[in-house]
Each structure stands twice: as C-alpha cells, then as structure tokens.
C-alpha cells in the first residue's frame, strides 16, 4: 500500500491550508490535473486505469498520487476483503450499520429520507477510508424473478430518479464518490454475463436510462459502474452508444466509468468506448497463471502495448487519467475531508426510520394489525425468517453489521405484557453465494413443532417469504419460481387450520405469488431492513408507528400477468444468447393499466391504520404552453383517529397520441404527515417538458401537443379524480 504524507501532497499540488478550500473552482482543478498528467510516464498512466487488488487501483508514489479504495455497499459498507482473494480479511474493526435495502427506501416515497440515508452511509464509508462507494443501484424492476431487485429502486423511472438524486448528493457531501450501477439494461442475473438485450430506443430512453441520467445531470454523480450484459451485440461496460455517445457525450458525464468485476472483455473497445477503470477481470488475486495477473487486464499491458504500437492514441489514456485525478480531487485529495463516523446512534435512527417508512401494510382484515400488548395473550412468532440473518448472503451486498435485530428479538423487546413463543417451522440451511448447504435439521420435526406452537397461541405471526440464498434474492442468478419456496403455501394453510387468528410478515425484496392470501388476516411487506429490522417491524406491528410505505413495484397475480413474462422465453430470460424486451415501454404498472390486467397489489399501494382522503383537487389552469408547469393542488385529509402519513400521487396519460403510450405514468408525488383529524393543502408541480416522449424518428425528446389526462390518487389503481388539460 502506498504511504504518503500531507506534506508531500501539499508540496506537489502547490496547495496551502489557507487557499485549498472546498470551493476550488473546476478550472483551477483542471489546470492542476493537466500539469500532473504531463509529469506522468505512459506506464504510470496505464497503471492507474486498472486494479492492483480486489478493491483498489494504483497511485503514483513518486508524485504522491494516492491509491483509490472502493467498497461494495448500496445499503452498507461491506466488510474488508483480502488483497488478492474474495476471502474476508478478518478485521475486527470493520463492522458497520446495515441500512434497509433500496426496495425499502423506494417504498418510503420520501426523498428527504433518501438524503438522510445517503448522508449516513457516506459517513460510514468515509470512516472506513473508502473513496468510492459502489452504489446505489437503479436498474429497473422488469421481472419479479430478478435475484438482485432488492438492491434497486423499483419499476418506475420517475420514482427511481427522485429517490436516487438526494442519496447521491448526500453520499458525496462526505467527499466519497457514489458509483451508480449497473449501466445499463442489467435487469436479470440469469445469464447476466452473456445475454444480449434487444430493446427499442424509446424503452431505453423512457424506462431504463432516466435514473442514470438524473444521477449524472441532477446529482452530478462522480462514478458509474458498467454492467455485465450486452446490448445490441456489444458489452455494455464499454459500449459505443451507451458509454461513449450517451453518457460521456450527450450527458457530459465528467466522472469515472468503472467496470463491474470481470465485465470488461476487449482492450480496444474498453479504451475507445469510455471505460476508465477496470476491476476484477478474470482474477481471484494473482491466480495460478500469469494470464490472471493484474498486469494482464485489458486496460493493463495490452492497453500499454496498443498505445506504444500506435494503435491507440495516447490522448485516450490521458482522458482516463484526467477523470481519475478529478475523482481524487473530489475524494481522497479533498482538503479538510473529514473522518466520518460509524455505528452512531444517529445512523441507527436513520436505518430505523427508513425501515419504518418503507414497510408496507398490504392487507388488514378486521383490523388485525396493530396488535396490542396486553396481559394474558400469547403471540406465536413462527418461521425461520423470524431469526435468520438478512444482512448475510445476497452476493456483493452482504454486510457485517455491528448487530442485527431479528423480527423475533424486536417483538420480544417491544411486547412486555404478552407472552411471546417461537418455532422455526422449517430450516433452509446457509447459502454460500452460488451453493446452498442443506440443513441438517429434521424438517418434519420442525413443522410439527411449529403447528403445536401455533395451537397454544392467541395470535400467530408467520414470518415468511424469501431469503438471500442463491436462487432467491441473491446476486448471481434469478429465482426459479414466482411462488414462495420451501412449501410455505402449504405451511400457511396448516397454520390457519389450527389457528384462525393468523397474520403474516412477508420478508422479500421481490413480489411473490400470493394464492395463500385469503388464509392470512393481515399482511405486512417488511423487505430486508438491516440492523434495526426487528425494532422497526415491532414498531409497526404494535402500532407505535403507523405504516406509510407504498409499493415501488407491482405484484402480479400470476407470473404471466407481468409484461416481461407475457411474451414467453424470448422476452425472459431469453434463449441463452439473445433476449427481446417485447413489452417495450409497458413495464410494471404501465403494463397492468394499459392491458387492463388487474395486479394483486398495485404500484404505489399501501394501507394505513388511519383513513385518508384526497379532496379539492385542481390545476392552476386548463391550457398550457410548452414552457409552462402544471400546478396540481389538493387537500390531504386524515379522517381517522391515528396520526399517519399519506402519499398523494399524480399520473399523466395521453390517450389520443400519434405513438404508443402507457395509459398513465407517474409524474409527481408528495408524502404528507398529518395528525389525526388534520388536513393539509399541498402542491405538486409538473413541468410540461417532463411529459415528453422519446421520438425515435428524430432521436430526441418531443412533447406532443393536445389533450392530456391527470390522474390523482394514492396508488396507480386508486384514482380519486381525473382532470383534462391541453398543451398547445
């Protein structure tokens, strides 16, 4: 590891403490970068463009140029990894706060909370001396089988965009780079390294790119990670259209493009199509042969030789080095960078708050929830997920938290009067990335014990769903079935047969099929909630917190009701070589609405322990020019006896259009917190230019004039009022 002192850095870069302030202008930095590039040898420049270890790249010791250190972490800073292998380094001081997975953050529909999330995780990354945090993920939820959906922000590009921008801005306030991933069209794990995606330009620009574009243009993100898959025959990590033309050309991205680990495939394409830093190519360290050595990466010795031979201009590597140096000035070379903090009470509070606001109440027959803590009642908490760690596993997002409060532990700590009993019901065994180690416990005995436990209780809470094992919510492959695994449907029926007072806590990062829904009186979607999981779950189950989460993706009744699956295997998962996004722009609720296919639970849906109404809905006028902003005003009213929060949602559609359209698309939302009986008037502003569609005939955005319909409600299928407006 390079050792360097502040004295060396300050001498070389000609900064003094009096003048090196946080507001150094870009042009001053660019001049300094140019002067540095002129001092570097070609070999030194090339060495900065590829890994030297699992999670670091080289600096230049003779000039005091530091290494860059990265860490996985869309929802927590990963434990320290060994230099040359995927083994954990065994440190005792790398425990962190595990924040809820990003599906939960998206379900909060609260950008302010996303800002707190970003600030907190950025502070933890800074404390761990990381320069780049490899997250957040903004790939669009296209299929409920994608093993990595729990890391992303749902099915809607507008929601993902609005939630990712404050996250990025507040991570980077800590002088740690956010690295948005995976650019682009990485919407499944199955065959992720080989599948070639074919999708229209409209779907690309309207559905799959907006959150990345917002990250670049609205949040000024400092790094972007390439994806594994191909798009139109070319690998996306070094893609001429995506990376070179759109990202670095049209969007003027001035940061660093980092490969996913082993997602680079070609020296020439990597060089000329915009890859700046190559990580993980074919190596688990030095490997067993020289072919796996870091110097043999595509942007290593082959890159150097191509420049020396004149096949690639030296200006190509100079551009990469300039970007890398700019990243350093924003992070590791930032004066007065700070030290960060980890596992603070404030971070735990943020993790708990995100979990509370992201939890979604899906069913509440006869007010099953909340459950009162009172003497004389027995609550049976059933299920392996009541005690299983959900920060372990899942692939690169696995975490090493200082602690993790399980659902059972959280409920036990909250309920002081009621008697809490527990049984597992089944045991799945641990998962080691791409392999499940079978349980050695007797499954029949576990099932019998759980049924007997349920018989003894006044109330049964079944904690079921998925986990972060291979072929569930896990990197590396997709789920193989839309159903709950481990015969849970049958198990729920058995529990219902012995105790009618049955509710369920659904722990997943994905939608699941719910043929068992009629057997549970209440259903709460709890996600993967991190360190404070059990406390947040108990907060909602007990009624200390009124649930306010809204689904960031649709729950189809059947898998075929999902647009990606409707068209058969060529649409998902493909034929092993190619895959065609035949649903085009009709992703998620756009598909359900337009095709009139009723979902089990709709995008934007979520119940509360109180009742809300949205009234007095109006727009500021009925006719708009292209430069105008539609101003929607409405009153949100808490009609019940409990304080709570509601999310007003505005969708807009154009029925008589010259191009294919979804019935409606989310274009605005606002979360409102109200005391019982209170009302509040809110305004949601929608610039007319955000109604543009991508016109393939001109390869640009266009707002179509004519009549539009505004749909105002509290879910994509719960619309209170429709308003017609005209754009002229």
As a whole number of angstroms, the distance between CA 148 and CA 141 comes to 9
pLDDT of residue 631: 98
- Ranges of H-type helices in 260-365: 267-272, 301-308, 314-330, 345-358
d(CA 711, CA 724): 9
Query: What is the Cα 216 distance to its own chain's centre?
Result: 16
Strands (E), 374-498: 378-382, 419-423, 431-432, 435-436, 459-465
- Rounded to two decimals, the pTM is 0.95
- What pLDDT, on the 0 to 100 scale, is given for residue 431? 72
Buried b (16+ CB within 10 A) or exposed e, 374-395: eeebebbbbbbbbebbbbbbbb
**Structural domains in the chain, sorted by start:** 1-16+40-66+259-330 (no CATH), 355-566 (3.40.50.1700), 610-727 (2.60.40.10)
Q: What is the pLDDT of residue 17?
A: 38
Q: Residue 14's pLDDT is what?
A: 41
Q: Is the pLDDT of residue 430 over 90?
A: no
Q: What SS3 class is residue 290?
A: helix
Coil vs helix vs strand at 398: coil
Using an 8 Å Cβ cutoff, are 208 and 249 in contact?
no
- Catalytic site residue from 131, 260, 473, 478: 260
pLDDT computed for residue 12 by the predictor: 43
Task: Report the alpha-carbon distance of residue 579 to residue 587 in Å, rounded.
Answer: 16
Q: At residue 2, does pLDDT exceed 50?
A: no
How many CB atoms within 10 Å of residue 498? 16
pLDDT of 227 reads 98
Model confidence over 337-391: pLDDT tens digits? 999 999 999 999 999 999 999 999 999 999 999 999 999 999 999 999 999 999 9
Side-chain-facing half-sphere of 144: CA atoms under 13 Å: 27
Task: Check pLDDT > 50 for residue 487.
Answer: yes
Q: How confident is the model at residue 23 (pLDDT cuts 50, 70, 90)?
A: very low
How many helices (H) and strands (E) in the chain? 18, 29
Both tokens of residue 439?
A: 């349980």
Share of the chain above pLDDT 90, in %: 92
- Peptide bond just before 344 cis, omega within 30 deg: no
Which DSSP symbol is given to 206? I
User: Residue 144: its pLDDT value, please?
Assistant: 98
- Cβ proximity of 664 and 630 under 8 Å: no
As a whole number, mean pLDDT of residues 87-106 equals 97
260: annotated active-site residue: yes
What pLDDT, in 10s, does the model give residues 293-325?
A: 899 999 999 999 999 999 999 999 999 999 999
Q: Write the pLDDT tens digit of every residue in 554-577.
A: 999 999 999 999 999 999 999 999
The mean pLDDT value for 256-264 works out to 97
56-74 pLDDT tens trace: 999 999 999 999 999 998 9
* Stretch 99-107: mean pLDDT: 98
């Amino acid at each position: 590891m390079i050792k360097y002192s502040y004295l060396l850095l300050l001498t070389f870069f000609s900064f003094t403490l009096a003048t090196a302030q946080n507001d150094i202008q870009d042009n001053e930095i660019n001049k300094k970068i140019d002067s540095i590039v002129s001092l570097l040898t070609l070999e030194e420049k090339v060495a900065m463009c590829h890994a030297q270890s699992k999670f670091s790249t080289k600096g230049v010791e003779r000039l005091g140029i530091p290494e860059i250190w990265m860490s996985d972490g869309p929802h927590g800073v990963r434990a320290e990894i060994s230099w040359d292998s995927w083994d954990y380094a065994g440190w005792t001081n790398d425990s962190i706060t595990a924040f809820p997975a990003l599906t939960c953050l998206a379900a909060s529909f609260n950008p302010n909370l996303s800002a707190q999330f970003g600030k907190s995780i950025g502070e933890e990354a800074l404390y761990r001396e990381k320069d780049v945090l490899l997250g957040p993920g903004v790939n669009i939820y296209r299929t409920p089988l994608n093993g990595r959906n729990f890391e992303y922000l749902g099915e809607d590009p507008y929601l993902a965009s609005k939630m990712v921008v404050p996250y990025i801005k507040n991570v980077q306030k800590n002088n740690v780079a956010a690295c948005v991933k995976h650019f682009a069209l990485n919407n499944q794990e199955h065959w992720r390294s080989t599948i070639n995606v074919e999708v229209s330009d409209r779907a690309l620009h309207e559905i799959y790119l907006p959150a990345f574009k917002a990250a670049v243009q609205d949040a000024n993100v400092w790094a972007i990670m390439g994806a594994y898959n191909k798009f139109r025959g070319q690998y996306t990590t070094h893609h001429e259209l995506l990376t070179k033309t759109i990202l670095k050309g049209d969007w003027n991205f001035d940061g660093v493009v980092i490969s996913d680990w082993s997602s680079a495939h070609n020296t020439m394409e990597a060089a000329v199509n915009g890859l700046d830093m190559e990580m993980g190519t074919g190596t688990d360290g030095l490997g067993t042969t020289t072919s796996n050595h870091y110097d043999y990466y595509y942007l290593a010795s082959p890159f150097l030789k191509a420049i020396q031979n004149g096949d690639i201009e030296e200006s190509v590597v100079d551009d990469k080095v300039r970007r890398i140096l700019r990243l350093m000035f924003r992070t590791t070379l930032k004066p007065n960078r700070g030290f960060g903090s980890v596992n603070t009470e404030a971070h735990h509070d943020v993790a708990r708050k995100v979990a509370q606001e992201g939890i979604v109440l899906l069913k509440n027959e006869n007010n099953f929830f909340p459950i009162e803590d009172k003497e004389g009642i027995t609550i049976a908490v059933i299920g392996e997920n009541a005690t299983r760690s959900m920060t372990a596993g899942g692939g690169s997002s696995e975490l090493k938290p200082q602690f993790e409060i399980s659902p059972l532990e959280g409920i036990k700590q909250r309920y002081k009067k009621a008697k809490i009993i527990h049984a597992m019901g089944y045991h799945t065994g641990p998962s080691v990335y791409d392999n499940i180690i079978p349980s050695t416990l007797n499954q029949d005995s576990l099932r019998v014990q759980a049924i007997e436990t349920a018989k003894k209780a006044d109330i049964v809470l079944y904690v079921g769903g998925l986990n972060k094992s291979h072929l569930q919510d896990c990197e590396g492959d997709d789920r193989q079935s839309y159903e709950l695994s481990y015969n849970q449907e049958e198990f729920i029926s058995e529990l219902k047969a012995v105790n009618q007072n049955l509710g369920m806590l659904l722990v997943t990062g994905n939608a699941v099929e719910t043929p068992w829904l009629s057997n549970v009186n209440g259903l709460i979607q709890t996600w993967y909630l991190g360190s404070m999981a059990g406390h947040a779950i108990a907060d909602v189950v007990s009624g200390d917190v009124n649930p306010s989460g809204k689904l960031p993706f649709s729950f189809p009744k059947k898998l075929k009701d999902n647009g990606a699956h409707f068209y058969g295997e060529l649409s998902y998962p493909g034929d092993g070589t190619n895959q065609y996004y035949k649903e085009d722009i009709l992703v998620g609720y756009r598909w359900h609405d337009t095709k009139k296919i009723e979902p089990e639970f709709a995008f934007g849906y979520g119940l509360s322990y109180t009742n809300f109404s949205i009234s007095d809905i109006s727009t500021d006028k009925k006719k708009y020019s292209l430069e105008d902003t539609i101003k929607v005003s409405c009153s949100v009213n808490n009609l019940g006896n409990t304080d709570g929060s509601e999310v007003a949602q505005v969708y807009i559609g154009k029925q008589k259009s010259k191009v294919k359209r979804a019935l409606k698309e989310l274009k605005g939302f606002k979360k409102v917190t109200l005391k019982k009986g209170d009302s509040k008037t809110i305004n949601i502003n929608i610039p007319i230019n955000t109604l543009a569609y991508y016109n393939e005939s001109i390869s640009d955005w266009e707002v179509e004039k004519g009549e539009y319909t505004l749909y105002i409600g509290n879910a994509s299928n719960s619309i209170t009022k429709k308003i017609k407006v005209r754009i002229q």
